[in-house]
Structure formats: structure tokens, C-alpha cells
Amino acid sequence: MSWKASARHGVREAPGGFALVQELLNTRAAMSYAQDLLAATEDAQWWVTDTLTIWSHASGLSAPTLLLSSADLRSLRRLRTAFEHVVLAGASPEPDSALPPADVQVSLVPDGTGWVRVVPTGRGVRWLASALWAEALLAQQAGMWPRLKLCNNAACRAAFFDTSRNNSGVWHDVSTCGNTANLRAFRERRRLLGQEHH
């Protein structure tokens, strides 16, 4: 089972339930090969049903069946934008104090082995928001959050899980987005050098 939105970009997926956050980010349209999965109700319904099945399997928690309306799509797109801001704020050296609160609830449930689990609560898209923020919190506590990044190519912005040793990855795919940017920079340097010699 693979996360559908992320598979379109060929990115390395975040581990376990944390991939739910990455999956939401990867619903955005990217360049010419990936449409916005939250633009039409039919596409969004297909995505959310598949995604919650995979998340439930990865997290070991049950997920409700969500039936989406057009109002839900607007809420999901706002939620995706909020997560983009949070991921970008984490990558920026300048702290952004303007991020709004998540405004979701979770339940803390002890299991039979003595561990306390963070369990999403709410109905519909509010439940999904609860699951997403809970996964973000768990990823931060586990030290994985800084490894979730958005591709440096502004036309792409695919969310990827950086597995480089020093967490220095900036492109979701070096051979496409990285080479394009490096070639553009090389041509610009050559153009500037050519102007200096005249």
C-alpha cells in the first residue's frame, strides 16, 4: 500500500502515521504532472478514503469514513496551507510568530501495555485535522519533524522526507528539480561573466 499523493512525486515517504501530513501536502498541484487532488470532490473523496485506510494501517488506530462536501474541500485546502506554513516556518532561520493555533482536540488513551496514545477526535474534516496535528506533534517529539521538507523548486513544492545524514536535502528529486535549478544558476553565472568581459 502506498500513499497516493506522495507516490505521484516519487518522493521518499515519512515513516508510519507521520506520512499523513506529507500526504496532505502532496495533494497540491505540481508542475505539469500532478493535479490538485483537493480541487474536485470526486478526486478528494478518492484520496481521503485511500489515505485514511493506509493511515489506519500505519498508525494502528481506526479511522472514520469521511464523506466530503465542497465546504470540506475548502477546509482541507486551508488545512494544507496551514501545514505548508508550519513546515516552511521550521525551515526558516527567522521565527514566524504569526502562525494561528491549530484549534483541534485529541484524546489521550492509555493502552494495555501502559503507553498513552494520542487519539484523534471530532467529526468529518475536524477529525482529520485532529489526526494531522497529532501526527505533527508525535513527529516533533520523535525528532522527525525537521526532516519533512518542501522541494526548493517553487513550481514543484513536493513534500519529501529528507534521509540525508546531515538533513541538508532541498530538492524532492535532485535529477529533476535540482538539475533544473543548478543549470539555471550556471547559465546565469555564465551570462553575468559574459557581460563583465564586454
Report the amino acid identity of residue 45: Q
- Averaged pLDDT of the chain: 86
Distance separating alpha carbons of residues 176 and 182, to the nearest angstrom: 10
Q: Model confidence at 65, in pLDDT bands (50, 70, 90)?
A: very high
pTM: 0.85
Nearest to 148 by CA among 124, 128, 132: 132
Distance separating alpha carbons of residues 79 and 135, to the nearest angstrom: 14
DSSP 132-175: HHHHHHHHHHTT-GGGEEE-S-TTT--EEE---TTS----S-II
Evaluate the CA torsion angle 98, 102, 103, 109 in order and state its sign. negative
- pLDDT tens digits, 96-113: 666 777 889 999 999 889
- pLDDT tens digits, 101-144: 788 999 999 988 988 999 999 999 999 999 999 999 999 999 99
